[in-house]
Amino acid sequence: QVIRCKAAVAWEAGKPLVIEEVEVSLLQKMEVRLKILYTSLCHTDIYFWEAKGQNPVFPRILGHEAAGIVESVGEGVTELVPGDHVLPVFTGECKNCAHCKSEESNMCSLLRINTDRGVMIHDDQSRFSINGKPIYHFVGTSTFSEYTVVHVGCVAKINPLAPLDKVCVLSCGISTGLGATLNVVKPTKGSSVAVFGLGAVGLAAAEGARIAGASRIIGVDLNASRFELAKKFGVTEFVNPKDYNKPVQEVIAEMTDGGVDRSVECTGHIDAMISAFECVHDGWGVAVLVGVPHKEAVFKTHPMNLLNERTLKGTFFGNYKPRSDLPSVVEKYMNKELELEKFITHQLPFSDINKAFDLMLKGEGLRCIIHMEH
């Protein structure tokens, strides 16, 4: 059946979303229709809503951090049935390409993030419309809608006992920061970790360092108002680069007798990326870049920094394969190893979704959970 439901439509760049009645069409091959119960707002939604640095695709249904229940499945879908509890994910896992078959990669050739695509892969058509006019998709998820259509490879089936209003934050930002630490830089017990940028992703990286047993977690941010909250995530010391008249990597090297063991960069600013790499200890230091840079950014460092046995890595979605790995991240929350409540600072009904945008634009709070049903 075609479903009529409410969705928050972005008609043009930077203008408030409008709650409209949309039609969600029938499923094609390998597609799943989800009833979204909770969605949260992530900075990526804001970035593409503002459409300052990329191709504007409008009208569009944004949203990609969410949790819901399978409503129906299309032809060829065998591993999901109606009623399954799931997280839709902006990147996928087809399980057949070279990346999916590799132990090391999570960058599926078929389903990796494509921010310009506003249609489904199967037929290059949208599944959303208003009076026959197509409304475009966003990163394959479009969760600012009561019902959405997602490729089966972008749906992680999770423990049905997990509270969806909490674990929805694992479908993007929190998993990205957590995995950058646990899967990529892998701090050892008792080690030191510097985290650049104390937004939700940076705090998730700090949470990963706390879980791994790091003894010193140094938070670096230009906004000192973030420091108090960060203590809840295991951050033990703080550096505001504005307080010093020398590069922050030198400040950290002095604090740590030559540099930290590991660092995680979560701002996307090129200077922070260079500092994050140069602040790790020679001989064993590892830095990972998580933040997405400006398209003209260039990373410059002296090659000796690498020759002196420092490692620079990049990561995408915390190196988690969505379908294979996200269920176990949900279990970390279920067995109380990972604390998600700390990330959730606001709750709003779907009708107030524009307030969530205002909160994020003002830099207030970490994650705002939007309840689809009143």
pLDDT tens readout for residues 337-348 = 999 999 999 999
* 154 carries an active-site annotation: no
* 42 carries an active-site annotation: yes
* 97 carries an active-site annotation: yes
Structural tokens at position 82: 């109606």
Q: How many CA atoms lie within 13 A of 253 on its CB side?
A: 15
What separation in angstroms does the CA of 341 have from each of 29, 110, 119, 174? 37, 34, 34, 12
Q: Are 337 and 128 in contact (CB under 8 A)?
A: no
* 94 carries an active-site annotation: yes
pLDDT computed for residue 189 by the predictor: 98
Other CB atoms within 10 A of residue 16 CB: 12
* 269 carries an active-site annotation: no
- pLDDT-based confidence at residue 295 (cuts at 50, 70, 90): confident
| Of 60, 99, 108, 137, catalytic | 108
Other CB atoms within 10 A of residue 216 CB: 18
CB-based contacts of 178, cutoff 8 Å, min separation 6 = 204, 205, 207, 208, 211, 318, 329, 338
Tokens 């990529």 -> residue:
184
| Of 154, 172, 266, 368, catalytic | 172
| Of 20, 97, 236, 346, catalytic | 97
* 64 carries an active-site annotation: yes
Tokens 């065998």 -> residue:
78
Q: What percent of the chain stands above pLDDT 90? A: 96
Q: Per residue in 170-196, pLDDT tens?
A: 999 999 999 999 999 999 999 999 999
* 65 carries an active-site annotation: yes
Going along the chain from its start, the domains and CATH numbers come out as: 3-171+340-371 (3.90.180.10), 175-316 (3.40.50.720)
* 33 carries an active-site annotation: no
pLDDT computed for residue 374 by the predictor: 55
| Of 31, 65, 146, 265, catalytic | 65
- The Cα 310–Cα 295 span in angstroms is 25
Other CB atoms within 10 A of residue 136 CB: 18
Average pLDDT, the chain: 97
pLDDT computed for residue 373 by the predictor: 85
| Of 99, 112, 210, 216, catalytic | 112
